[in-house]
Chain A
Amino acid sequence: MTEENKKAVVDIGVACSAHQSPDWWSPVMAMLLNTERSGEITIGHIRTVSSALPDHNKNNTIGNVKKRWSLTDANRNEISKGFLDQGSDWIFWMDDDTVPPTDVITHLIKLGLPFVAGLYFLPRSPFNPIAYKRHKDSGLYAPVYNYPRGGLFEVDSVGMGCTLIHRSVYEKILAEHIVYERYNGALFPVHKSQVRKPEVKEHRVRRKPVVKAGQYREQVTQQKVEDDRNFPYYLLEHGRTEDHHFCELAESVGIKPMLDTSVICDHYKLKATTVEDYQEELDEAEGIFK
Protein backbone atom coordinates (compact mmCIF):
# COMPACT_ATOMS: atom_id res chain seq x y z
CA MET A 1 0.00 0.00 0.00
CA THR A 2 1.37 3.38 -0.92
CA GLU A 3 1.51 6.34 1.42
CA GLU A 4 -1.19 8.00 -0.69
CA ASN A 5 -3.53 5.04 -0.13
CA LYS A 6 -3.26 5.30 3.63
CA LYS A 7 -4.72 8.79 3.67
CA ALA A 8 -8.38 9.19 4.46
CA VAL A 9 -10.31 10.20 1.36
CA VAL A 10 -13.01 12.78 2.00
CA ASP A 11 -15.73 13.87 -0.40
CA ILE A 12 -17.21 17.33 0.01
CA GLY A 13 -21.00 17.54 -0.26
CA VAL A 14 -22.70 20.90 -0.87
CA ALA A 15 -26.38 20.26 -1.38
CA CYS A 16 -27.48 23.76 -2.17
CA SER A 17 -25.06 25.52 -4.42
CA ALA A 18 -26.25 28.37 -6.57
CA HIS A 19 -24.78 31.83 -6.29
CA GLN A 20 -22.75 32.61 -3.22
CA SER A 21 -21.35 35.73 -1.73
CA PRO A 22 -17.82 36.32 -3.07
CA ASP A 23 -16.82 36.36 0.60
CA TRP A 24 -17.84 32.71 0.81
CA TRP A 25 -15.54 31.34 -1.86
CA SER A 26 -12.13 32.44 -0.62
CA PRO A 27 -12.31 30.89 2.87
CA VAL A 28 -13.84 27.71 1.43
CA MET A 29 -11.05 27.38 -1.11
CA ALA A 30 -8.54 28.10 1.66
CA MET A 31 -10.10 25.28 3.68
CA LEU A 32 -9.82 22.79 0.82
CA LEU A 33 -6.26 23.78 -0.03
CA ASN A 34 -5.27 23.72 3.61
CA THR A 35 -6.73 20.24 4.02
CA GLU A 36 -4.77 18.88 1.06
CA ARG A 37 -1.62 20.65 2.16
CA SER A 38 -1.82 19.07 5.61
CA GLY A 39 -0.75 15.89 3.84
CA GLU A 40 -3.02 13.70 5.98
CA ILE A 41 -6.18 13.77 3.88
CA THR A 42 -7.08 13.51 0.23
CA ILE A 43 -10.08 15.43 -1.02
CA GLY A 44 -12.04 13.02 -3.20
CA HIS A 45 -14.98 14.47 -5.10
CA ILE A 46 -16.57 17.83 -4.52
CA ARG A 47 -20.23 17.03 -4.98
CA THR A 48 -22.52 20.01 -5.40
CA VAL A 49 -26.10 20.19 -6.60
CA SER A 50 -28.62 22.96 -6.48
CA SER A 51 -31.46 23.31 -4.09
CA ALA A 52 -35.00 24.57 -3.93
CA LEU A 53 -35.53 24.58 -0.21
CA PRO A 54 -38.69 26.65 0.02
CA ASP A 55 -37.75 28.87 2.91
CA HIS A 56 -36.61 32.46 3.32
CA ASN A 57 -36.88 32.90 -0.42
CA LYS A 58 -33.83 30.71 -0.82
CA ASN A 59 -35.47 29.03 -3.79
CA ASN A 60 -34.92 32.20 -5.73
CA THR A 61 -31.36 33.06 -6.56
CA ILE A 62 -30.53 36.60 -5.59
CA GLY A 63 -31.24 39.11 -8.29
CA ASN A 64 -33.73 37.14 -10.38
CA VAL A 65 -36.48 34.58 -10.01
CA LYS A 66 -34.69 31.54 -11.34
CA LYS A 67 -35.66 28.51 -9.28
CA ARG A 68 -33.07 26.13 -8.03
CA TRP A 69 -33.34 22.65 -9.39
CA SER A 70 -34.55 20.33 -6.70
CA LEU A 71 -35.38 20.09 -3.02
CA THR A 72 -32.56 19.84 -0.52
CA ASP A 73 -33.46 16.31 0.54
CA ALA A 74 -33.35 15.04 -3.05
CA ASN A 75 -30.03 16.79 -3.58
CA ARG A 76 -28.55 15.32 -0.43
CA ASN A 77 -29.75 11.85 -1.44
CA GLU A 78 -28.18 12.28 -4.86
CA ILE A 79 -24.90 13.34 -3.31
CA SER A 80 -25.06 10.44 -0.84
CA LYS A 81 -25.54 7.97 -3.67
CA GLY A 82 -22.56 9.35 -5.56
CA PHE A 83 -20.45 9.21 -2.42
CA LEU A 84 -21.43 5.60 -1.67
CA ASP A 85 -21.01 4.43 -5.26
CA GLN A 86 -17.39 5.50 -5.21
CA GLY A 87 -14.65 4.74 -2.75
CA SER A 88 -14.27 7.69 -0.41
CA ASP A 89 -14.19 6.99 3.33
CA TRP A 90 -15.87 10.13 4.57
CA ILE A 91 -18.20 12.83 3.40
CA PHE A 92 -17.90 16.34 4.73
CA TRP A 93 -21.17 18.20 4.35
CA MET A 94 -21.26 21.94 4.17
CA ASP A 95 -23.75 24.41 2.76
CA ASP A 96 -23.35 27.11 0.17
CA ASP A 97 -23.48 29.66 2.97
CA THR A 98 -21.39 28.10 5.75
CA VAL A 99 -17.68 28.71 6.12
CA PRO A 100 -15.95 26.27 8.44
CA PRO A 101 -12.46 26.87 9.90
CA THR A 102 -9.62 26.02 7.52
CA ASP A 103 -8.46 23.00 9.55
CA VAL A 104 -11.95 21.60 10.06
CA ILE A 105 -11.68 18.32 8.16
CA THR A 106 -8.32 17.35 9.64
CA HIS A 107 -9.56 18.26 13.11
CA LEU A 108 -12.82 16.32 12.84
CA ILE A 109 -11.18 13.22 11.35
CA LYS A 110 -8.67 13.10 14.20
CA LEU A 111 -11.56 12.75 16.65
CA GLY A 112 -12.18 9.30 15.19
CA LEU A 113 -15.95 9.64 15.48
CA PRO A 114 -18.27 8.34 12.75
CA PHE A 115 -20.69 11.28 12.86
CA VAL A 116 -19.55 14.65 14.16
CA ALA A 117 -20.56 18.22 13.47
CA GLY A 118 -19.24 21.70 14.08
CA LEU A 119 -21.28 24.73 15.04
CA TYR A 120 -22.98 27.33 12.94
CA PHE A 121 -25.75 29.65 13.89
CA LEU A 122 -29.22 30.55 12.71
CA PRO A 123 -28.72 33.68 10.61
CA ARG A 124 -31.34 35.67 12.51
CA SER A 125 -32.31 36.24 16.12
CA PRO A 126 -31.94 34.30 18.42
CA PHE A 127 -28.88 33.07 16.47
CA ASN A 128 -29.14 29.64 18.06
CA PRO A 129 -26.74 26.84 17.06
CA ILE A 130 -28.06 24.50 14.35
CA ALA A 131 -27.85 21.52 16.70
CA TYR A 132 -30.69 20.07 18.68
CA LYS A 133 -31.86 18.00 21.60
CA ARG A 134 -35.18 16.18 21.29
CA HIS A 135 -37.86 16.60 23.89
CA LYS A 136 -38.46 13.11 25.23
CA ASP A 137 -42.23 13.48 25.47
CA SER A 138 -43.19 15.61 22.47
CA GLY A 139 -40.45 14.37 20.12
CA LEU A 140 -39.90 17.98 19.03
CA TYR A 141 -36.43 19.44 18.72
CA ALA A 142 -35.04 22.39 20.63
CA PRO A 143 -31.73 24.01 19.76
CA VAL A 144 -28.74 23.47 22.01
CA TYR A 145 -28.56 26.83 23.70
CA ASN A 146 -25.99 28.02 26.21
CA TYR A 147 -23.68 25.24 25.14
CA PRO A 148 -20.22 24.79 26.69
CA ARG A 149 -17.41 26.24 24.63
CA GLY A 150 -14.86 23.61 23.72
CA GLY A 151 -17.39 20.85 24.30
CA LEU A 152 -17.64 17.53 22.51
CA PHE A 153 -20.88 15.83 23.35
CA GLU A 154 -23.79 13.83 21.99
CA VAL A 155 -26.86 15.61 20.65
CA ASP A 156 -30.00 14.35 18.94
CA SER A 157 -29.77 16.22 15.66
CA VAL A 158 -27.40 18.47 13.74
CA GLY A 159 -27.54 20.41 10.51
CA MET A 160 -25.44 19.41 7.56
CA GLY A 161 -23.64 22.75 7.27
CA CYS A 162 -20.42 21.47 8.84
CA THR A 163 -20.68 17.75 9.39
CA LEU A 164 -18.31 14.85 8.83
CA ILE A 165 -19.83 11.40 8.40
CA HIS A 166 -18.11 8.08 7.78
CA ARG A 167 -19.48 5.89 5.00
CA SER A 168 -20.14 3.10 7.50
CA VAL A 169 -23.00 5.18 8.93
CA TYR A 170 -24.74 5.24 5.53
CA GLU A 171 -23.99 1.57 4.92
CA LYS A 172 -25.42 0.56 8.28
CA ILE A 173 -28.58 2.57 7.67
CA LEU A 174 -28.95 0.99 4.24
CA ALA A 175 -28.45 -2.53 5.59
CA GLU A 176 -30.89 -2.19 8.47
CA HIS A 177 -33.82 -0.47 6.77
CA ILE A 178 -36.51 -1.39 4.27
CA VAL A 179 -37.85 1.35 1.99
CA TYR A 180 -41.61 1.63 1.62
CA GLU A 181 -43.79 3.70 -0.64
CA ARG A 182 -46.57 5.72 0.89
CA TYR A 183 -50.11 6.11 -0.42
CA ASN A 184 -48.98 9.38 -1.98
CA GLY A 185 -46.00 7.71 -3.67
CA ALA A 186 -43.33 9.16 -1.37
CA LEU A 187 -40.59 6.86 -0.10
CA PHE A 188 -39.65 6.38 3.52
CA PRO A 189 -37.40 3.88 5.29
CA VAL A 190 -38.41 1.71 8.25
CA HIS A 191 -35.97 -0.12 10.49
CA LYS A 192 -36.28 -3.87 9.99
CA SER A 193 -37.00 -4.38 13.68
CA GLN A 194 -40.13 -2.24 13.28
CA VAL A 195 -41.65 -4.32 10.48
CA ARG A 196 -44.32 -6.80 11.66
CA LYS A 197 -45.66 -9.77 9.73
CA PRO A 198 -47.58 -10.43 7.60
CA GLU A 199 -45.90 -8.49 4.81
CA VAL A 200 -48.16 -7.36 1.99
CA LYS A 201 -46.62 -7.03 -1.47
CA GLU A 202 -49.64 -5.43 -3.16
CA HIS A 203 -52.94 -3.96 -1.93
CA ARG A 204 -55.98 -5.13 -3.91
CA VAL A 205 -57.95 -2.02 -2.98
CA ARG A 206 -56.21 1.29 -2.45
CA ARG A 207 -57.50 3.02 0.63
CA LYS A 208 -56.69 6.47 1.91
CA PRO A 209 -54.86 6.75 5.22
CA VAL A 210 -57.07 6.79 8.28
CA VAL A 211 -56.78 7.52 11.95
CA LYS A 212 -58.33 4.73 14.00
CA ALA A 213 -58.12 4.08 17.72
CA GLY A 214 -55.52 6.79 18.06
CA GLN A 215 -53.29 5.25 15.41
CA TYR A 216 -52.49 6.58 11.98
CA ARG A 217 -52.86 3.78 9.43
CA GLU A 218 -51.65 3.93 5.88
CA GLN A 219 -51.22 1.35 3.14
CA VAL A 220 -47.59 1.02 2.20
CA THR A 221 -45.71 -1.26 -0.18
CA GLN A 222 -42.03 -2.01 -0.46
CA GLN A 223 -40.13 0.09 -2.96
CA LYS A 224 -40.23 -1.77 -6.26
CA VAL A 225 -37.03 -3.05 -7.84
CA GLU A 226 -37.64 -0.98 -10.96
CA ASP A 227 -38.08 2.19 -8.91
CA ASP A 228 -34.71 3.92 -9.31
CA ARG A 229 -35.25 6.67 -6.78
CA ASN A 230 -32.39 7.03 -4.28
CA PHE A 231 -32.51 5.65 -0.77
CA PRO A 232 -34.21 8.37 1.31
CA TYR A 233 -31.45 9.16 3.77
CA TYR A 234 -32.74 12.73 3.92
CA LEU A 235 -36.42 13.66 3.95
CA LEU A 236 -38.19 17.00 4.16
CA GLU A 237 -41.27 15.79 6.01
CA HIS A 238 -43.61 17.15 8.64
CA GLY A 239 -42.38 20.70 8.17
CA ARG A 240 -38.93 19.72 9.34
CA THR A 241 -35.59 20.17 7.71
CA GLU A 242 -34.16 17.04 6.10
CA ASP A 243 -31.27 16.63 8.54
CA HIS A 244 -33.54 15.57 11.42
CA HIS A 245 -34.61 12.55 9.40
CA PHE A 246 -31.03 11.47 8.75
CA CYS A 247 -30.11 11.86 12.41
CA GLU A 248 -33.08 9.70 13.40
CA LEU A 249 -32.03 7.01 10.91
CA ALA A 250 -28.50 7.07 12.30
CA GLU A 251 -29.88 6.83 15.82
CA SER A 252 -31.95 3.82 14.82
CA VAL A 253 -28.72 1.99 13.93
CA GLY A 254 -27.04 3.06 17.18
CA ILE A 255 -25.09 6.11 16.04
CA LYS A 256 -25.87 9.56 17.40
CA PRO A 257 -24.26 12.77 16.24
CA MET A 258 -21.55 14.35 18.34
CA LEU A 259 -21.27 18.11 18.43
CA ASP A 260 -17.84 19.72 18.64
CA THR A 261 -18.33 23.26 19.91
CA SER A 262 -14.68 24.11 19.35
CA VAL A 263 -15.42 24.14 15.60
CA ILE A 264 -17.24 27.35 14.76
CA CYS A 265 -18.36 28.38 11.28
CA ASP A 266 -19.57 31.65 9.88
CA HIS A 267 -23.00 31.50 8.24
CA TYR A 268 -23.31 33.84 5.28
CA LYS A 269 -26.45 35.55 4.20
CA LEU A 270 -26.07 39.15 3.21
CA LYS A 271 -23.33 39.18 5.80
CA ALA A 272 -21.81 36.44 7.91
CA THR A 273 -23.63 35.34 11.03
CA THR A 274 -20.89 34.70 13.54
CA VAL A 275 -20.47 33.43 17.06
CA GLU A 276 -20.50 37.07 18.21
CA ASP A 277 -24.15 37.39 17.18
CA TYR A 278 -24.98 34.39 19.33
CA GLN A 279 -22.89 35.72 22.24
CA GLU A 280 -24.59 39.13 22.18
CA GLU A 281 -27.98 37.45 22.28
CA LEU A 282 -26.91 35.18 25.12
CA ASP A 283 -25.35 38.00 27.15
CA GLU A 284 -28.50 40.01 26.80
CA ALA A 285 -30.62 37.05 27.90
CA GLU A 286 -28.38 36.48 30.91
CA GLY A 287 -28.05 40.15 31.80
CA ILE A 288 -24.28 40.12 31.43
CA PHE A 289 -22.31 43.25 30.44
CA LYS A 290 -25.41 45.45 30.58
Chain B
Amino acid sequence: MGDVDIQINLPEDAEVTTVRLEDFINTDYGDLKFDIIACVHVLQTLWSHEVFDAIQKLVDTLANKGELYIHVPGIEQAVKPLIKNTLDPVAFYLIWGSEKTPFHTGFTLMWLRQLVMKAGGIVRNANVGLFDLEYSGKKVKGIEHHLLATVVRD
Protein backbone atom coordinates (compact mmCIF):
# COMPACT_ATOMS: atom_id res chain seq x y z
CA MET B 1 0.00 0.00 0.00
CA GLY B 2 1.23 3.53 -0.66
CA ASP B 3 4.06 4.69 -2.92
CA VAL B 4 6.90 4.46 -0.41
CA ASP B 5 9.31 1.53 -0.41
CA ILE B 6 10.25 -0.08 2.88
CA GLN B 7 12.53 -2.99 3.65
CA ILE B 8 10.82 -6.05 5.13
CA ASN B 9 12.52 -9.43 5.29
CA LEU B 10 10.03 -11.82 3.74
CA PRO B 11 10.38 -15.59 3.56
CA GLU B 12 11.59 -16.74 0.11
CA ASP B 13 8.34 -18.56 -0.58
CA ALA B 14 6.17 -15.66 0.56
CA GLU B 15 3.11 -14.99 -1.55
CA VAL B 16 2.77 -11.22 -1.80
CA THR B 17 -0.51 -9.46 -2.51
CA THR B 18 -0.79 -5.71 -3.02
CA VAL B 19 -4.11 -4.02 -2.38
CA ARG B 20 -5.36 -0.46 -2.18
CA LEU B 21 -6.43 0.64 1.27
CA GLU B 22 -9.95 1.34 0.05
CA ASP B 23 -10.23 -2.19 -1.37
CA PHE B 24 -8.76 -3.70 1.79
CA ILE B 25 -11.34 -1.90 3.93
CA ASN B 26 -14.23 -2.96 1.69
CA THR B 27 -13.20 -6.60 1.25
CA ASP B 28 -14.61 -9.34 3.46
CA TYR B 29 -11.68 -11.71 4.04
CA GLY B 30 -13.72 -14.17 6.10
CA ASP B 31 -11.35 -16.45 8.02
CA LEU B 32 -8.35 -15.57 5.85
CA LYS B 33 -5.44 -14.23 7.92
CA PHE B 34 -2.16 -12.74 6.75
CA ASP B 35 1.25 -13.51 8.24
CA ILE B 36 2.61 -10.07 7.43
CA ILE B 37 0.69 -6.89 6.63
CA ALA B 38 2.49 -3.73 5.58
CA CYS B 39 0.42 -0.57 5.56
CA VAL B 40 2.77 2.04 4.21
CA HIS B 41 1.94 5.74 3.98
CA VAL B 42 -1.77 5.42 3.35
CA LEU B 43 -3.60 5.70 6.68
CA GLN B 44 -3.13 9.46 6.58
CA THR B 45 -5.45 9.63 3.55
CA LEU B 46 -8.37 8.52 5.73
CA TRP B 47 -10.39 10.96 7.79
CA SER B 48 -9.57 10.73 11.44
CA HIS B 49 -12.92 9.13 12.32
CA GLU B 50 -12.21 6.33 9.82
CA VAL B 51 -8.74 5.47 11.09
CA PHE B 52 -9.58 3.27 14.05
CA ASP B 53 -11.85 0.95 12.06
CA ALA B 54 -9.10 0.54 9.46
CA ILE B 55 -6.53 -0.30 12.11
CA GLN B 56 -8.95 -2.70 13.76
CA LYS B 57 -9.32 -4.51 10.45
CA LEU B 58 -5.55 -4.63 9.98
CA VAL B 59 -5.19 -6.24 13.40
CA ASP B 60 -8.15 -8.57 12.90
CA THR B 61 -6.82 -9.92 9.60
CA LEU B 62 -3.38 -10.59 11.04
CA ALA B 63 -2.51 -14.23 11.71
CA ASN B 64 -1.59 -15.34 15.22
CA LYS B 65 1.89 -13.95 15.98
CA GLY B 66 1.92 -12.27 12.58
CA GLU B 67 3.60 -8.94 11.88
CA LEU B 68 1.84 -5.67 11.14
CA TYR B 69 4.01 -2.84 9.80
CA ILE B 70 2.50 0.64 9.74
CA HIS B 71 4.31 3.67 8.33
CA VAL B 72 2.79 7.17 8.35
CA PRO B 73 4.21 10.70 8.04
CA GLY B 74 5.41 12.10 11.37
CA ILE B 75 3.08 14.99 12.13
CA GLU B 76 4.75 16.40 15.24
CA GLN B 77 8.11 16.63 13.52
CA ALA B 78 6.45 18.24 10.49
CA VAL B 79 4.75 20.85 12.63
CA LYS B 80 7.97 22.08 14.25
CA PRO B 81 9.18 24.09 11.21
CA LEU B 82 5.76 25.73 10.97
CA ILE B 83 5.88 26.79 14.62
CA LYS B 84 9.27 28.32 13.92
CA ASN B 85 7.73 30.05 10.89
CA THR B 86 10.09 28.25 8.52
CA LEU B 87 8.75 27.70 5.02
CA ASP B 88 9.55 24.03 4.52
CA PRO B 89 7.68 22.49 1.56
CA VAL B 90 8.38 18.98 2.87
CA ALA B 91 6.64 19.88 6.12
CA PHE B 92 3.65 21.08 4.12
CA TYR B 93 3.59 17.75 2.28
CA LEU B 94 3.87 15.72 5.48
CA ILE B 95 0.89 17.56 6.93
CA TRP B 96 -1.39 18.15 3.97
CA GLY B 97 -0.15 15.79 1.27
CA SER B 98 -0.33 16.76 -2.38
CA GLU B 99 -3.03 17.85 -4.78
CA LYS B 100 -3.16 14.31 -6.15
CA THR B 101 -3.12 12.66 -2.70
CA PRO B 102 -4.41 14.97 0.01
CA PHE B 103 -3.94 13.89 3.60
CA HIS B 104 -6.86 14.07 6.02
CA THR B 105 -5.25 12.80 9.24
CA GLY B 106 -1.99 13.51 11.01
CA PHE B 107 -0.50 10.92 13.35
CA THR B 108 1.55 11.45 16.41
CA LEU B 109 3.47 8.30 17.30
CA MET B 110 1.67 8.14 20.64
CA TRP B 111 -1.76 8.25 19.01
CA LEU B 112 -0.85 5.65 16.40
CA ARG B 113 0.46 3.35 19.11
CA GLN B 114 -2.64 3.79 21.25
CA LEU B 115 -4.92 3.02 18.31
CA VAL B 116 -3.05 -0.21 17.59
CA MET B 117 -3.12 -1.23 21.26
CA LYS B 118 -6.84 -0.42 21.50
CA ALA B 119 -7.42 -2.66 18.47
CA GLY B 120 -5.74 -5.55 20.31
CA GLY B 121 -2.30 -5.32 18.77
CA ILE B 122 0.86 -5.78 20.82
CA VAL B 123 3.35 -3.11 19.84
CA ARG B 124 6.87 -4.45 19.42
CA ASN B 125 8.58 -1.37 18.08
CA ALA B 126 7.56 2.24 17.52
CA ASN B 127 9.98 4.88 16.35
CA VAL B 128 10.68 7.70 13.94
CA GLY B 129 12.75 7.42 10.80
CA LEU B 130 13.37 8.92 7.39
CA PHE B 131 11.84 7.94 4.10
CA ASP B 132 12.59 8.93 0.52
CA LEU B 133 10.12 11.30 -1.03
CA GLU B 134 9.87 12.92 -4.44
CA TYR B 135 8.55 16.42 -4.07
CA SER B 136 8.38 19.01 -6.86
CA GLY B 137 10.66 16.82 -8.94
CA LYS B 138 13.34 16.62 -6.23
CA LYS B 139 14.33 13.68 -4.06
CA VAL B 140 14.08 14.68 -0.40
CA LYS B 141 13.83 12.99 2.97
CA GLY B 142 10.61 12.99 4.94
CA ILE B 143 10.10 12.07 8.58
CA GLU B 144 7.87 9.13 9.31
CA HIS B 145 6.55 7.11 12.19
CA HIS B 146 6.94 3.38 11.85
CA LEU B 147 5.43 0.78 14.07
CA LEU B 148 5.63 -2.99 14.26
CA ALA B 149 2.88 -4.87 16.05
CA THR B 150 1.80 -8.44 16.50
CA VAL B 151 -1.25 -10.20 17.83
CA VAL B 152 -1.52 -13.23 20.09
CA ARG B 153 -4.74 -15.22 19.86
CA ASP B 154 -5.57 -17.91 22.41
Q: Which chain A residues have a beta carbon within 8 Å of chain B's beta carbons?
A: 110-113, 148-154, 262, 286-289
Q: Would A152 and B80 count as touching, CB distance under 8 A? A: no
CB of A110 within 8 A of CB of B122, answer yes
Partner of A148, one of B80, B123, B127: B127
> Which among A113, A153, A286 has the highest number of chain B CB atoms within 10 Å?
A153
Known: A110-B122, A111-B122, A111-B123. A149 touches B84 (CB 8 A): no
| B126 engages A150 (CB within 8 Å) | yes
Residues of B2-31 at the interface with A, using a CB-CB cut-off of 8 Å, are: none
Partner of B110, one of A110, A150, A153: A150
Q: List 19 A-B contacts (CB under 8 A).
A: A111-B122, A111-B123, A148-B109, A148-B126, A148-B145, A149-B108, A150-B109, A150-B126, A151-B109, A151-B127, A151-B128, A152-B113, A152-B123, A152-B124, A152-B125, A152-B126, A153-B126, A288-B80, A288-B83
Is the CB of B112 closer than 8 A to any CB of chain A?
A: yes
Of B76, B111, B123, most A-chain CB atoms within 10 Å = B123
Chain A residue at minimum C-beta to C-beta distance from B112: A150
B-side contacts of A110, CB under 8 Å? 122
Interface of B is mostly: mixed
- Whether B126 lies near A286 (C-beta < 8 A) is no
Separation of A154 and B125 alpha carbons in the complex (Å): 8
Closest beta carbon of chain A to B121's beta carbon, Å = 11
Residue contact A151 to B126, C-beta cutoff 8 Å: yes
CB distance from B84 to the nearest CB of A (A): 6
- How far is B82's CA from A289's CA once the two chains are assembled, in angstroms? 11
Nearest-neighbour CB distance to chain A for B109, whole angstroms, equals: 4
Chain B interface size, as a band, is 20 to 34
7 closest Cβ pairs, A-B complex:
A150-B110, A150-B109, A153-B127, A152-B126, A148-B128, A150-B113, A148-B109
Beyond A112-B122, A113-B124, A153-B127, 7 additional pairs, beta carbon < 8 A: A111-B122, A150-B110, A150-B113, A152-B127, A153-B125, A262-B110, A288-B80
Judge whether A150 and B122 touch: CB under 8 Å: no
A110 to B120, CA, bound (A): 11
Q: Which residues of A contact B80 (CB under 8 A)?
A: 286, 288
Q: Decide if B84 touches A288 in the complex (CB within 8 Å).
A: yes
How far is B113's CA from A152's CA once the two chains are assembled, in angstroms? 9
- Which residues from B are CB-within-8-Å of A153? 125-127
When the two chains form their complex, are residues B122 and A262 in contact, meaning their CB atoms are under 8 A apart?
no
**Cα of A149 to Cα of B113 in the assembled complex, Å:** 10
**Chain B 32-83 residues near chain A, CB threshold 8 A:** 74, 76, 80, 83
User: A149–B125 Cα gap in the complex (Å)?
Assistant: 13
Report A113 CB to chain B, min CB distance, Å: 8
Contact of A150 among B83, B84, B108, B124 (CB under 8 A): B108
Contacts of A148 in B (CB 8 A): 74, 109, 126-128, 145
Report the Cα distance A149→B128, complex, angstroms.
10
Residues of B within 8 Å of A288, CB to CB, are 80, 83-84
With a cutoff of 8 Å between Cβ atoms, the chain A residues found around residue B127 in the complex are 148, 151-153
Instruction: Report the Cα distance A288→B76, complex, angstroms.
Output: 13
Q: Which residues of A contact B111 (CB under 8 A)?
A: 150
**Cβ–Cβ < 8 Å partners of B145 in chain A:** 148
Q: Which A residues are CB-close (under 8 A) to B113?
A: 150, 152, 262
Tell me the nearest residue of chain B to A110, going by C-beta: B122
Kindly state the separation between the CA atoms of A149 and B80 in the bound complex, as whole angstroms: 14
Chain B's closest residue to A259 (CB) is B127
* Contact partners of B126 in chain A: CB under 8 A: 148, 150-153
**Are B124's CB and A289's CB within 8 A?**
no
B116 to chain A, nearest CB (A): 11
For the complex, what is the distance from the CA of A150 to the CA of B113, rounded to whole Å?
Answer: 7
